[in-house]
Amino acid sequence: MDEQTRDRDRLTDGLGDGAARHRPRDARETRARILRAAGAVFAERGFEAATVRDIAARAGVNQALIFRYFGSKKALLTEVMTEGGREQVSNTPPDRLFEAALRGVLAEGGDADTDRLLAVYLRSIGSADAAPETVRELGEEYAAALAALSSADDGELRAQLAMAWLLGIGLMRVVVGQEPLASAAPDDVVGHVLDALERLLPARDVSSGKMKPIDAGPR
Amino acid sequence: MDEQTRDRDRLTDGLGDGAARHRPRDARETRARILRAAGAVFAERGFEAATVRDIAARAGVNQALIFRYFGSKKALLTEVMTEGGREQVSNTPPDRLFEAALRGVLAEGGDADTDRLLAVYLRSIGSADAAPETVRELGEEYAAALAALSSADDGELRAQLAMAWLLGIGLMRVVVGQEPLASAAPDDVVGHVLDALERLLPARDVSSGKMKPIDAGPR
DNA sequence: CCCTTGTGTAAGCACACGCTTACAACGCTA
DNA sequence: TAGCGTTGTAAGCGTGTGCTTACACAAGGG
């Protein structure tokens, strides 16, 4: 509330603002602010623990606006997940998707959208009816892209096993924070995982050439 | 509330009961009933979504008793997890631990204590401060037992990666319920996973002899 | 018999939550 | 300037939660 008030004041006051200052009464900007704030809070606390009041405060916005723009807390979550979610799947070539996603998990701490999205996913899974369809669809898209890599007849199962590993690693690092995994070097983890997965997804390599193509992380 | 009343009546009425009927005013039995009910409800709904009223109703007990016996909902959770948790770790020889745990995950649906415990773990992870120390300690015990299997210098990291896979598979099946993994044959999953893990934990086999020793599932 | 101790219960307190409502301020067009 | 739709706000409603309190019943000892 303190921060919210301060933010608001900074805006309503006509102080000469720099490049990226947003005008008051800009619906689009407000919507975007809410979405950004929601993503952050959902990622930090999980769906249930995150409160609409928190999100509103973080966005510097009255909480009633959230319901005007999105209707409900649940709808907000689906919006957050669908918005940035499909981008990575469709923008990354399938043969790099797994390693990219894995490195995204490992690069936690940066404010990358990808990391946030996965953190939201992981932290919101526990609550059964948070956004089951959305969550499952997103997972299915990943798995389908991965399944195309393998020529085995149970390629889908194999792909989902790989996905499961991804999720588990993310869970250990982001949510549980168990050492030494939590602070292990990304390259070490990627090396071990890709190595083991060559047995699971044998048709082509999991990455096109054993972790050379992607060098610095997903962004 | 309905069920609770009915249960209570069945007890207070002096109808000639069979073998396992508990006497009224038996503190030990009441405590055990609460613990069982709590395990079930936590496993089904997760920590946050489970309510003390639900647990009390399922145990056929007044909810105030829960606080008399355990103090708080959080304390109840830790009690549930620590009670049955360490048994599997200490009762299973390390070289079979991984496969046993994996089969435990895959055998979901049975009312085995192991399955319940892992379901509780998985569903309660999302809420950050549910029982972080307890949860982490339990995971560390598993990982330590697994780490002893590998002779590599980063054996602990490798063990935790295996643990992470376990968790991820459990998440996919128990919580997300994603197909085809959710209803895949346990033997298929175990086969794939153990096969891939031979690269991760190379010193000795993950199971003593490639999934022959355990034939029908953990119980 | 009463009194104490252990066990169980009904009722409710305080609070945080998602969501709603009634209203104010802005900015546009006429 | 007046009217009007859009954008923002303050206050609060209803509900469900964890947890507490004040009391009822059982059993044993004086």
Q: What is the 3-state secondary structure (H, E, C) of chain A?
A: CHHHHHHHHHHHCCCCCCCCCCCCCCHHHHHHHHHHHHHHHHHHHCCCCCCHHHHHHHHCCCHHHHHHHHCCHHHHHHHHHHHHHHHHHHHCCHHHHHHHHHHHHHCECECCHHHHHHHHHHHHCCCCCCCHHHHHHHHHHHHHHHHCCCCCCCHHHHHHHHHHHHHHHHHHHHHHCCCCHHHCCHHHHHHHHHHHHCCCCCCCCCCCCCCCCCCCCCC
Q: Are A211 and A98 in contact (CB under 8 A)?
A: no
Yes or no, beta carbons of B177 and A136 under 8 Å apart: yes
Yes or no, beta carbons of A199 and B196 under 8 Å apart: yes
Please state the φ and ψ torsions of residue B86, each to the nearest 5 degrees: -75, -15
Residue A160 contacts B where some CB pair is shorter than 8 Å: yes
- Residue A86: predicted pLDDT: 63
Task: Look up residue B27 and give its two tokens.
Answer: 């503190």
Yes or no, beta carbons of A192 and B45 under 8 Å apart: no
Residue recorded with tokens 């168990």: A178
Interface of A with B in 114-133 (CB under 8 A): 122-128
Confidence of residue A96 (pLDDT cuts 50, 70, 90): confident
pLDDT of A167 > 80? The answer is: yes
Yes or no, beta carbons of B158 and A192 under 8 Å apart: yes
- Between CA A65 and CA A49 the distance in angstroms is 20
Of A62-76, B10-24, B69-83, the least confident: B10-24
- Between CA A214 and CA B101 the distance in angstroms is 34
pLDDT of B114 > 80? The answer is: no
SS3 category, B169: helix
> Each residue of A103-142: pLDDT tens digit?
887 876 555 556 677 778 878 776 656 666 676 777 777 7
Interface of A with B in 187-206 (CB under 8 A): 188-189, 192-193, 195-200
How many residues are recorded in chain B? 219
- Residue A81: predicted pLDDT: 84
- Residue B180: predicted pLDDT: 84
pLDDT of B136 > 80? The answer is: no
Confidence of residue B1 (pLDDT cuts 50, 70, 90): very low
The predicted model gives A57-66 an average pLDDT of 96
Most confident of A202-211, B19-28, B143-152: B143-152
- Residue B116: predicted pLDDT: 73
The predicted model gives B152-162 an average pLDDT of 85
pLDDT of B10 > 50? The answer is: no
Q: What is the CA radius of gyration of chain A?
A: 20
Residue A61 contacts strand D, CB under 7 A = yes
SS3 category, B17: coil
Contacts of A180 in chain B (CB under 8 A): 154, 156-157, 160
SS3 category, B206: coil
> Each residue of B32-43: pLDDT tens digit?
999 999 999 998
Task: Give the other-Cβ count within 10 Å of A107's Cβ.
Answer: 16
Chain D positions within 7 A of any protein Cβ atom are 6-12, 16-22, 26-27
- Residue B132: predicted pLDDT: 63
Confidence of residue B118 (pLDDT cuts 50, 70, 90): confident
Most confident of A121-125, B94-98, B126-130, B182-186: B182-186
Phi-psi group of B115: left, alpha or beta (phi > 0 → left; psi -120 to 50 → alpha; rest → beta): alpha
- Between CA A146 and CA A156 the distance in angstroms is 8
Of A98-112, A143-157, A200-214, the least confident: A200-214
Confidence of residue A89 (pLDDT cuts 50, 70, 90): low
- Residue B204: predicted pLDDT: 52
The predicted model gives A159-165 an average pLDDT of 90
Residue B155 contacts A where some CB pair is shorter than 8 Å: no
Give the one of B47, B154, B167 whose C-beta lies nearest to A172's C-beta: B167
Strand (E) or helix (H) holding B5: helix B2-12
- Between CA A198 and CA A186 the distance in angstroms is 18
Using the structure, give the distance in angstroms from the CA atom of A32 to the C1' atom of D6, rounded to a whole number: 17
- Residue B127: predicted pLDDT: 64
Confidence of residue A30 (pLDDT cuts 50, 70, 90): very high
The predicted model gives A136-160 an average pLDDT of 78
Q: What is the CA radius of gyration of chain B?
A: 20
- Between CA A147 and CA A158 the distance in angstroms is 7
Residue B25 contacts strand D, CB under 7 A = yes
Task: Look up residue B114 and give its two tokens.
Answer: 């192991």
Yes or no, beta carbons of B167 and A163 under 8 Å apart: no
Better pLDDT: B86 or A119: A119
